Structure formats: C-alpha cells, structure tokens
Chain A
Amino acid sequence: MDLRLNPTQQAFRDQVRGWLEENVPREPLPSLDTREGVEAHRAWERRLYDAGFAAVHWPAAHGGRGMDPLATAIFYEEYLRADGPARLNRLGLGLAGPTLIDLGTPDQQDRWLSKILTSEEIWCQGFSEPGAGSDLAGIRTRGEVRDDGILVNGQKIWTSHSRWADWMFALVRTDPQSSRHAGLTFLMIEMADPGVDVRPIRQLNDARDFAEVFLTDVLVPKNNVIGEIGGGWSVAMATLVHERGSGLNTAAHFHKMLAELVSMIPEESRGDTRVQEEIGWLYEHIEAYRYMTLRTLSELAQKKPPGPQGSMGKLWWSELQVRLYELGLQVLGSRAELLDGHDDGAGPPAWRQRYWLARAALIYAGSNEIQRNIIAERVLGLPKGSRRAV
C-alpha cells in the first residue's frame, strides 16, 4: 500500500497534465444537442487521438497506450481537473472497442477500432427493450438467420447517443425457439440503414438524451456478428465488465460538485449543525467512494479478482449523488423550480438537471434494486430468489 505515484505514474501524470493545460479549449464547446456541437466535440476527440490520449486503456497494438486501470484513473482525474470537454464516443471507446479487442476477429478489429479511436464513428448500445430492462435476457428483437445475413426486426429503447450514432452494438434473438440467455446473438448494426428509425424520447427533465430505435427488416451481414451466432449472451457479459472502467463518476468529480454546493451555502447557514452534518456525510461518502474505487483499480491493475467492494461502486456513487443534488435544491429553496433565464444566477436549472439525472442513475446500468440483489447473491452468497412472474 503506497499512495504516492511511482515514477512511471508521475511521468504519465505530468505528461497528461501538461498536454491538457495547453490544449483544453478555453471556452466551453457548443452543446452536444446540436450537430455543430457534435462536430466540435469530434474535432476535440481527433486532437486527443493525435496526442495518443483517445483511449489510454486500450492495448498499444490497437492504438491505445496499454495503461492499467490505475493509470487510466490518473488520466481521468487530470482530465476532470483540466475541465476537459465531455467525451463524445463513450460507448465506442468504453464498451464497443474493448469488446472488439477481446472477442472480435482481426478483420472486425481493422474495420472498426481505428474509427472508434478517432470518433469518426460514434457508437450506441442496443441492449434494453420495452420488455427487457432489468431482465436483459427477456430480449425479443428477432434476428432471422438467412444465407445473406441476419434480418433484424424489433425495438430497442432508452438508447443514449443514438441520435448521432453511426453504429449500434446490439443483442438480438436469433433462435426463435430459445428463451432467456440462449439463442441470442451480439451484432453490429449500421445506423444509416433505412430500416433503422430513431425517435428521441422527451424526458421528464425536458431533455432528449435517449431514444427509441425501431428496427425494420435491417439486413446485417454475418461478418458483423461478434463471437458465435447464438453465443451473444457471453459477449454481452464481457461488454458489461468494461462498464466498471468508464472512468466518469470519479470521487474527484463528486468532490468538485460538493465544492460547488458548499460555495452556494449562505453565511447564515454555515453554523447550522444540520447543514454541517449533511456536508460531513457527503464528504465521508465521497471519500469512501474514492478508496473503494482505488481498492478495485489496484486489484485489477495487479490482475487480481476484485474484492467485495468491486460490486458496490454503482450503488454507492448513484445514491450519494442524489443526496448531494437534493441538498443543492434545498439550498436553492424556492428558486429551485425556476426555468432558465428567470433567475439572475445560473444555479437553479443546472442543479435541477443534475438532480433529475441523478435520479435516472438509480435506474440505468442495472437498477439499484438489481445491484442489491447482485451484492446479496454474488458477494454474500444468499440464494437467488424466484424471479419469474406468476
């Protein structure tokens, strides 16, 4: 146990810090809600790529730097510190790419990886369906295996980034007689296909971050299948393992949010022990997240299986985050409900959006109820309960 950076980590940290200081745009880029914003972010991704920072965790042979999870965390910490722009192609760099590296053929890797790195092609994830949310094995989108390819018909939902995506990695049911985990196939769908219809969903926070994706007679060539036809479940599980390393919800991020929250607290409330206790609670939980994460990253960097805390991160950060933004709304008081432009400060809309998105985080990437089941069953060894509806 040694929390000091070793010379290699130190050199990498300095290199990243120096490059970001010189290159991060002074002005924020236009919003990702617009085509202009997407192109501005794509240009930024290209600069990251040219400097070798697009995906430091990818193996060098595939254009990354082969950095271990700790060095990758150092990169993200610096990125946050430098206020770098939002990453455009998170699902490509974080999930599709690593899955291709693990399980793709050399041809498939040649075809997709470099365009993921440059963000020339943006990716989205086609797992969830109206009938397959927490129960992912309930997938019903059909894939008819024919001589000329796989004909896909069905519907995906809650698909983030699908508006601008060029590709979707998806799970479809290729064996109509199968149920549950068998008979699924993992394949890459080109979003430009005329049979792909993306319909953005207006969310309760009035944003349109995700969409429904209707798939009608989309013919997917067989060489777009990752792994075997019918072997998609294990590929999808390999993909989800990489979700842990997405690097976004770091303790450093939450400390930054806490500092912003503290700056909003008026002088007359600062001596209130209830406020102090809540701030103390938040600080403690962010620190706990920092060291639980560091434990997991350290285990992974040494190729050890993660300890119990490795299955607890999502539950922890998503719940502390809600409490953080709830306190923000409480501090704003009656101003919290004002819309943009109706308040002199920029506070209320931003905090309200953070709050609603924090509530979404209790649901996505495995709802917190599912997370508790996973902890109870896989970490504590309690039996799987009956899950079937009667």
Chain B
Amino acid sequence: MLFDLSDDQAEFRESVRGMLGRQMTPATLRAVWDADGAGSGDLWRRLAGIGVQGMVVPEEYGGVGGSHVELALALEEIGYHGVPDPVLETAFVAASTLAQCGDQTVRDRWLPAINAGEAVVSLSLDKPALVVHGAQADAVLVRRGTQTHLLPADRAVWRPVATQDPTRRLALGEFQLDDSTLLADDAAVADRLTTAARTASAAVLVGVARRLVDMTIGYVLSREQFGQVIGSFQALKHRLADAAVLVEAARSLTWYAAYAFGHEPAAARWAARVAKSAASDAGATASAAALQLHGGIGFTWEHDLHLWLKRGQALQHAYGSATDHRVAVGARILDRDAPALAG
C-alpha cells in the first residue's frame, strides 16, 4: 500500500507543467479569447507529443499504455494553465471508452488518431446536447440511457452557442442515433463513460482551483493597505487557508478516483462522484475567495482572474454539481438494501 506519486509520475507531471508554462501563458489564453475561442494553435499536437492524449491509449494502437493517475496529473496541469481544448473529453473519456468497446474498425479509426493528436472527440451525457467544442470535434461520444454512441462530425449538425467563456465553444447538436452509430448497449459501459467524465473533470477543476488560490496568494503578497501587505491580515489568511485545504482534499480524492478507474472498477463510480463533488466545492470556494481578495481589480475584464473564474464556474456544474453527487451518494448510503460503500 502506497498512495504517492512514483518518481516517473512526478517527472511526467513536471514535463507537462514545463511545456504548458512555456506554451500556455495567460497572454496565449487571452489571445484565444480575443479570437472568440478559435483554436490554441499547435498546442493540441504538442500535448500529444508528450503523451497526454495517448496516455491511456493501448500500446497496440501506438499509445503510451499508461495509467489514469498520470493522465489525471496532466489534466490538473491543463486546468491550472487554462488550456482551452477538450483534453479531458478526448484523452480520458474517449480514449478509455474506445479502448474498452467498439469494434476493431472503430478502434483502428480513432485510437491511433487520438494518440497522434489528430482527433478531437467530445462528449454528450444528456439532453439538450450542448457539447464543448461540438462544431470542431471530429466525433462526439453520446450517452443516452444504457447506450453509448460514437457520432462522427458528418453525422450531426452543430450550431455554436455563445457562452461567457468563449473557449468553451459550446454547440447544440442535431443528429439521429441509430445502429450505425451505436458502440455498445450496455449499462456498465455507459456508466463507465459518465464515471470517466466526472473523474477527469474533477482533475481539471482541481487545477483551476489551485490556480485561483495561487493568483490570489500572489496578489495579497503584493497589494499594500494600512502600510502592510494585505496577506498579513488574518481574515484574508484564513479565507485562503480554507480554499487551499479544499483544493488538497479534492486533489487527494481525484488521485484516488483516477486510481480506482484503472484498478478498482466497483469503487470507481462512487469515487468519481465524491471527487467531482469535492472539486466543485474547492472550485467554488477558491473562486469566491479569489474574487473577494482581489478587490476591485479582480472585477475588471483586463485582469486575468476572470478567465479562470469562468472556466471554474462552467466546470463546477459540468458532469454533475456537488449537490447532485452528494445527494446521490447519500441516497445510496441511506438505502437499506444497498451494500455499504466503504468503511
């Protein structure tokens, strides 16, 4: 029993961190905003180059064949650096799902392309089909009930929908699902798809929340009032401490959810709910503290804070809010007929 990153995992995280620190600066993100969300240049291919999209693609399809824990570490950095592309949907959800189901033709078509950074696959879990990067994706995984479909771009019409964070690139899809798009009609596959989305979005959100805390620490250490930096005031310190604690809690739960996704399938769905709930809570608390402690400057368009505030707000509600997940977990625990979750 050891719940810690291996040296290889820590090294991989450093390589992602280093690359994104150079390639994905706030100025880069702002440029994507100013271009109304249009593309982040060659970042997608660079991420593929260091093994992010191919992390859980099996080696027989050219992938890294690594673990979901490594992938979660990369996703946290992706949230931290504000990467605007649908990495969690493609690298975690689509790669895991396609590696597990679908016929050989489908796997041959998509897995090597995902690994190489040549395919963007997005996700629709429910109706209405508001899908991130819907119009730009090469395909969209669609869950409806127990069915999992793979919808190539030419099988749907995507109408872009304006959102407060233009990098989300939400689109509303019109499409028909039929036998030709069906990957699997299996509740276990569909549940695992949802579990993947919750686990992966928790990881990104932990990164967003950590960024909000770090930006705020930087600000309260430089802003002076009453003749001292405002970070020396206890009321502000306690507020940041509370946010930081929630971030570390959510991060620990996310590591476990990613581990469980690969190693403890029976526990994975509850671990994912718990992790996403904790990440949403950390995101909300970090956002509120960040906006409050930045004072007026944080309320301006010019300051970078809102880029992360809005990403965080979107992710808090995506793939289930804290309330949704807590109610579901609680209902299950209170159900006398259901087996115990843990303990």
B1 at the interface (CB under 8 A from A): yes
Q: When the two chains form their complex, are residues A279 and B330 in contact, meaning their CB atoms are under 8 A apart?
A: yes
Give Cα A271–Cα B278 distance, bound, in whole angstroms. Answer: 23
Name the residue on B nearest A310 (C-beta). B248
Contacts of B5 in A (CB 8 A): 1
Name the residue on A nearest B274 (C-beta). A284
Most B Cβ at <10 Å: residue of A271, A283, A284, A376: A284
Point out the residue from B232, B244, B248, B271 that lies within 8 Å of A292, measured CB to CB.
B248
Count contacts between A and B, CB distance < 8 Å. Answer: 180
Contacts of B333 in A (CB 8 A): 258, 262, 279-280, 283
Residues of B196-231 whose CB lies within 8 A of A: 213, 217, 220-221, 229, 231
Contact indicator per residue, chain A 1-35, by CB within 8 Å of chain B (1) or not (0)? 11111100100000000000000000000000000
Give the Cβ gap from B289 to chain A, nearest Cβ, in Å. Answer: 12
| A373 in contact with B2 given A255-B343, A287-B342 (CB within 8 Å) | no
Q: When the two chains form their complex, are residues A376 and B1 in contact, meaning their CB atoms are under 8 A apart?
A: no
A298 at the interface (CB under 8 A from B): yes
Q: When the two chains form their complex, are residues A256 and B343 in contact, meaning their CB atoms are under 8 A apart?
A: yes
Contacts of B244 in A (CB 8 A): 308, 312, 375, 379-380
Give Cα A20–Cα B4 distance, bound, in whole angstroms. Answer: 29
Q: When the two chains form their complex, are residues A372 and B264 in contact, meaning their CB atoms are under 8 A apart?
A: no
Contacts of A307 in B (CB 8 A): 248
Q: When the two chains form their complex, are residues A283 and B249 in contact, meaning their CB atoms are under 8 A apart?
A: no
Interface residues of A, count at CB 8 A: 62
Point out the residue from A259, A273, A308, A383 that lies within 8 Å of B229, measured CB to CB.
A383
Give Cα A289–Cα B249 distance, bound, in whole angstroms. Answer: 7
A146 at the interface (CB under 8 A from B): no
Q: When the two chains form their complex, are residues B9 and A1 in contact, meaning their CB atoms are under 8 A apart?
A: yes
Point out the residue from B1, B255, B340 that lies within 8 Å of A4, measured CB to CB.
B1
Q: When the two chains form their complex, are residues A298 and B4 in contact, meaning their CB atoms are under 8 A apart?
A: yes
Point out the residue from A258, A276, A385 that lies within 8 Å of B234, measured CB to CB.
A385
Most B Cβ at <10 Å: residue of A281, A285, A298: A281
Contacts of B271 in A (CB 8 A): 287
Contacts of B237 in A (CB 8 A): 372-373, 376-377, 380, 382, 385
Give Cα A386–Cα B228 distance, bound, in whole angstroms. Answer: 11
Give the Cβ gap from A133 to chain B, nearest Cβ, in Å. Answer: 17
Name the residue on A nearest B234 (C-beta). A385
Give Cα A383–Cα B252 distance, bound, in whole angstroms. Answer: 27
Give Cα A291–Cα B6 distance, bound, in whole angstroms. Answer: 16
Q: When the two chains form their complex, are residues B328 and A280 in contact, meaning their CB atoms are under 8 A apart?
A: yes
Give the Cβ gap from B68 to chain A, nearest Cβ, in Å. Answer: 10
Give Cα A271–Cα B336 distance, bound, in whole angstroms. Answer: 11
Contacts of A276 in B (CB 8 A): 326-331, 334
| A291 in contact with B330 given A1-B9, A316-B249, A372-B237 (CB within 8 Å) | no
Contacts of A381 in B (CB 8 A): 217, 221
Point out the residue from B69, B249, B325 that lies within 8 Å of A1, measured CB to CB.
B69
| B contact face: mostly helix, strand, loop, or mixed | helix
Contacts of A248 in B (CB 8 A): none
A70 at the interface (CB under 8 A from B): yes
Give Cα A71–Cα B252 distance, bound, in whole angstroms. Answer: 20
Residues of B225-254 whose CB lies within 8 A of A: 229, 231-234, 237-238, 240-242, 244-245, 248-253
Give Cα A376–Cα B256 distance, bound, in whole angstroms. Answer: 26
B127 at the interface (CB under 8 A from A): no
Give the Cβ gap from B283 to chain A, nearest Cβ, in Å. Answer: 14
Point out the residue from A281, A301, A315, A376 that lies within 8 Å of B240, measured CB to CB.
A376
Point out the residue from A265, A273, A372, A383 that lies within 8 Å of B231, measured CB to CB.
A383
Give Cα A3–Cα B258 distance, bound, in whole angstroms. Answer: 12
Point out the residue from B252, B328, B334 that lies within 8 Å of A262, measured CB to CB.
B334
Give Cα A385–Cα B259 distance, bound, in whole angstroms. Answer: 40
Q: When the two chains form their complex, are residues A280 and B325 in contact, meaning their CB atoms are under 8 A apart?
A: yes
Q: When the two chains form their complex, are residues B217 and A380 in contact, meaning their CB atoms are under 8 A apart?
A: yes
Name the residue on A nearest B249 (C-beta). A288
Contacts of A287 in B (CB 8 A): 253, 256, 271, 274, 342
Q: When the two chains form their complex, are residues A372 and B241 in contact, meaning their CB atoms are under 8 A apart?
A: yes
Q: When the two chains form their complex, are residues A283 and B233 in contact, meaning their CB atoms are under 8 A apart?
A: no
Q: When the two chains form their complex, are residues A279 and B334 in contact, meaning their CB atoms are under 8 A apart?
A: yes
Give the Cβ gap from A375 to chain B, nearest Cβ, in Å. Answer: 4
Q: When the two chains form their complex, are residues B343 and A291 in contact, meaning their CB atoms are under 8 A apart?
A: no
| A295 in contact with B3 given A283-B274, A383-B229 (CB within 8 Å) | yes
A202 at the interface (CB under 8 A from B): no
Q: When the two chains form their complex, are residues B241 and A376 in contact, meaning their CB atoms are under 8 A apart?
A: yes
List the 10 shortest-distance A-B pairs measured between CB atoms, nearest first. Answer: A280-B326, A255-B343, A276-B330, A376-B237, A280-B330, A279-B330, A291-B252, A288-B249, A280-B329, A298-B4
Besides A283-B333, A384-B232, 4 other A-B contacts (C-beta < 8 A) = A2-B2, A3-B264, A298-B3, A380-B217
Residue numbers of B with Cβ under 8 A of A are 1-6, 9, 67, 69, 213, 217, 220-221, 229, 231-234, 237-238, 240-242, 244-245, 248-253, 255-256, 259, 263-264, 271, 274, 277-278, 323, 325-331, 333-336, 340-343
Residue numbers of A with Cβ under 8 A of B are 1-6, 9, 70, 74, 252, 255-256, 258-259, 262, 265, 270-271, 273, 275-281, 283-285, 287-289, 291-292, 294-295, 297-299, 301-302, 304, 307-309, 312, 315-316, 369, 372-373, 375-377, 379-386
Sampled A-B contacts (10; CB under 8 Å): A258-B333, A271-B331, A276-B328, A283-B329, A294-B1, A295-B255, A376-B238, A377-B237, A380-B237, A381-B221
